[in-house]
Amino acid sequence: MVTYVEIRCPRCGAPLPPMAPSGVMHCSYCAAPLVPSPGGVRLQRTLDHDLPDPDRPRLWLGGRRYVLLGRLGRGEGADVFFGRSDQRLSEQVVVEVLRARAEVERMAHQHAVLSALQRSTHQGAEHFTRLLPQPVAHGEARVGIHGDEGTRTASVLTHAPGFVHNFAEVHAAYPQGIDGAAATWLWKRILETLSWVHQSGWVHGALLPAHLLVHARDHGVRLLGWGRAVPRGRPLPAFTAGAEAFYPAPVWEGAPATPATDLTMSARSILWLIGGGTIARSSAAVPDGILALLLRAAQDDAGGATDAWALRDALSHAAHAAFGPPKYVPFPMPGWRLGGA
């Protein structure tokens, strides 16, 4: 007669899958490190002082422990940290730790939206999914080296090196406004990503200066703030307080969000940089053809535009007329400084 013995975690009592004769596994519920023992499994003995950066804050999520190395920013409802997985072959990550309980649903929604976009099979997915924040884990994280210092709702995302300045920081570096060359590549990168996002069936719905992250050297832009994204044709679930000027008025009042919503908000964010912190209506530093495109797209209906890639092509033609063939133009920005965790 064959009998089966159920092995449970010695810390929390959760059932465990069969374990290999050697090696370490982590309880899927409490993340405790476990090793084989004659009676089944036991907690792995670790010396806290042997850990790299033992005084840094840590949390457990998705069966892994992460160490928080520095604060990247402060979002509407979460604190954002640079971190790494706390293991021999570590991985750099971004960790969002919820600060306001009212934002629990927004953080969960962001994880769901980003996961859905990672599953997109639309043409260009292999390229564009790498340009978006890639979700690693989300849920109730256990705080502390041993995960016994309470819980916090958190999300872990892949870290993209070099994307360290948002549009607000660009404005701080260029308080008199950016020029036409910078406006061109910044907007072009946004439109390229939006084209794929829209074709995958989503509207970002919150293209604000704080949600647009710049790679100054490589001329890249990364879209953050996906917690209010919606399928095309649905109203936005919420808005960012104090940012009404960036939203199309009908959408702010409850009309469905469409690709034109993102085009309008992207144009207004670029005009905000051009205007040195106010949404510009004119600029001597931006060629007329490029400025005209921006002003038209900044209208509540995006000037009739609905196709981000077509708008990107129109921008390329206007830039060629103004500057000639494409060339790399340096965009100096201050160095990256991490604050304390």
Q: Which domains, ranges and CATH numbers included, belong to the chain?
A: 54-158 (3.30.200.20), 165-323 (1.10.510.10)
**Of the candidates 252, 254, 258, which has an alpha carbon nearest to the alpha carbon of residue 202?**
258
Model confidence at 54, pLDDT cuts 50, 70, 90, reads confident
Query: What is the pTM for the complete model shown?
Result: 0.84
Q: Above 90 in pLDDT, residue 48? A: no
Q: Report DSSP state, residue 15.
A: B
Residue type, position 269, single letter: S
323 CB contacts (<8 Å, ≥6 apart)?
180, 181, 184, 287
Query: Is the CB of residue 294 less than 8 Å from the CB of residue 270?
Result: yes
In the predicted model, is pLDDT for residue 332 greater than 60?
Answer: yes
Q: Is 314 helix (H, G, I), strand (E, B) or coil?
A: helix
pLDDT band at 37 (very low <50, low <70, confident <90, very high): confident
Rounded to an integer, the average pLDDT of 103-110 is: 95
Is the pLDDT reported for residue 308 higher than 90? yes
Residue 26 pLDDT level (bands cut at 50, 70, 90): confident
Count the neighbouring beta carbons within 10 Å of the beta carbon of residue 284: 9
- Residues sharing a CB contact under 8 Å with residue 89, sequence separation 6 or more, in sequence order: none
What is d(CA 224, CA 166) in angstroms, rounded to the nearest whole number? 10
Helix 288-297 to helix 308-323 angle (10° resolution) is: 160
Distance CA 199, CA 197 (A): 6
For residue 10, pLDDT over 70 is answered with yes
d(CA 60, CA 147): 6
* 167-193 pLDDT tens trace: 999 999 999 999 999 999 999 999 999
| pLDDT of res. 45 | 60
pLDDT surpasses 70 at 305? yes
User: What 3-state DSSP class applies to 166?
Assistant: strand
Q: Own/partner pairs for 12-17, CB < 8 Å, 24+ apart?
A: 16/41
Going 270 to 127 to 96 to 100, the CA torsion angle's sign is positive
Given a contact cutoff of 8 angstroms between Cβ atoms, the answer to whether 47 and 38 are in contact is no
Q: How many of the other CB atoms lie within 10 Å of CB of 324?
A: 8
In 3D space, the residue among 211, 229, 136 whose CA is nearest the CA of residue 166 turns out to be 211
Residue 287, pLDDT above cutoff 60? yes
Residues 197, 204 contacting (CB under 8 angstroms): yes
Tokens of 334: 């201050």
Q: How far is CA 285 from CA 177, 271, 275, in A?
A: 8, 12, 10
Return the structure tokens found at 131. 């340009």
The string of pLDDT tens digits covering residues 211-245 is 999 999 999 999 999 999 999 999 999 999 999 99
Lookup result for tokens 């001597």: 284
> Which has more pLDDT, 170 or 53?
170
pLDDT digits (tens, 9 = 90+) for 130-155: 999 999 999 999 999 888 899 999 99
Assign 10 to helix, strand or coil.
coil
pLDDT (tens digit per residue) in 115-125: 999 999 999 99
Beta bridge partners of 157: 94, 135
- Residue among 180, 177, 179, 178 nearest 319 (CA): 180
> So what's the pLDDT on residue 47?
47
For the chain, what is the mean pLDDT?
Answer: 90
Q: Is the pLDDT of residue 338 over 70?
A: no
Closest CA to 160 of 85, 106, 86, 221: 221
